[in-house]
Amino acid sequence: MKLFNLMFTAVLMLLCLTLVPATSSYAGMIGTDEAVSAQQQPNDRAKIDAFLSKSEVQEQMRSMGVDAATARARVQAMTPAEAAQLAQKLDAVPAGGALSTTDFIIILLVIILVAILL
């Protein structure tokens, strides 16, 4: 009886080991662009959020009927590419921080466009 139990256990263990699917993992190189963009994403959103926190911007949004909390939520819903593009536009603003009417309208249009798409 002991021999039967020993053989049954050995066969059962062998069967379990052969039936377990072999999993494999794959590793690949991460490109420089991917690494940089992954690190840049939080910075882009923080830059846009800082811009939306300015009192002049909030006043202008209120005058246009846009809620600041809604605009911030829409910025968080942007894709990384959209956030990078908007942050890049903010970098192109003159050094004094004065936005032209055209720049401000473009920024608001991007935010409203994202709001409509979502």
Backbone angles phi, psi at 48, to 5 degrees: -65, -40
Is 106:90 a contact under the CB 8 Å cutoff? no
pLDDT in tens, 55-110: 888 888 888 888 888 888 888 888 888 888 888 888 776 555 566 778 788 888 88
2 domain-assigned? no
Question: Which DSSP helix (H) or strand (E) runs through 27?
Answer: none
pLDDT score for 1:
75
48 domain-assigned? yes
Range of 118's domain?
A: 37-118
Q: CB-based contacts of 68: which residues, under 8 Å, 6+ apart?
A: 52, 58, 61, 62
pLDDT score for 97:
59
pLDDT score for 79:
85
Overall domain count for the chain: 1
pTM over 0.75: no
Distance CA 72, CA 70 (A): 5
24 domain-assigned? no
23 domain-assigned? no
pLDDT in tens, 2-59: 888 888 888 888 877 777 666 666 777 877 877 777 777 788 888 888 888 888 888 8
* Strand, helix or coil for residue 1: coil
